[in-house]
Amino acid sequence: KAGVTQTPRYLIKTRGQQVTLSCSPISGHRSVSWYQQTPGQGLQFLFEYFSETQRNKGNFPGRFSGRQFSNSRSEMNVSTLELGDSALYLCASSLLQESGAEAFFGQGTRLTVV
């Protein structure tokens, strides 16, 4: 069974630009969550999508948005990039009811804003 796939793996953007990151969950997983990891703030929850609907949202500004498609694939968008958005962005998928707190993470997208 293929794992969670995130693309691209690395990205360099300029301040003010926008970026879209993609996540393909494990087949059959309908919950997709996004996390931001930085040395200063650690691992922080961004949002969760389930059946194309945002179900949970973390404490991030509106510049961070996402969506989920009917095949459960998800995208995350960050507009008007700031230097502080440089981070490892992680996507995770899970079965929820069947697997408790077990989520499967991708390798992440390393975003650098210059």
Nearer to another protein, 80 or 112 (CB): 112
C-alpha 78/C-alpha 84 separation (Å) is 12
Using CB under 8 A, which of 14, 70, 100, 114 touches another protein? Answer: 100
66 binds another protein (CB under 8 A): no
90 binds another protein (CB under 8 A): yes
Helix (H) or strand (E) holding 12: strand 10-13
Using CB under 8 A, which of 5, 11, 22, 45 touches another protein? Answer: 45
C-alpha 21/C-alpha 8 separation (Å) is 7
Say if residues 45 and 32 touch (Cβ distance below 8 Å): no
Using CB under 8 A, which of 72, 94, 111, 113 touches another protein? Answer: 94
77 binds another protein (CB under 8 A): no
Using CB under 8 A, which of 20, 22, 44, 86 touches another protein? Answer: 44
The radius of gyration computed from the CA coordinates of the chain, to the nearest angstrom, equals 13
In which residue are the tokens 């961004």 written? 46
108 binds another protein (CB under 8 A): yes
33 binds another protein (CB under 8 A): yes
C-alpha 3/C-alpha 82 separation (Å) is 30
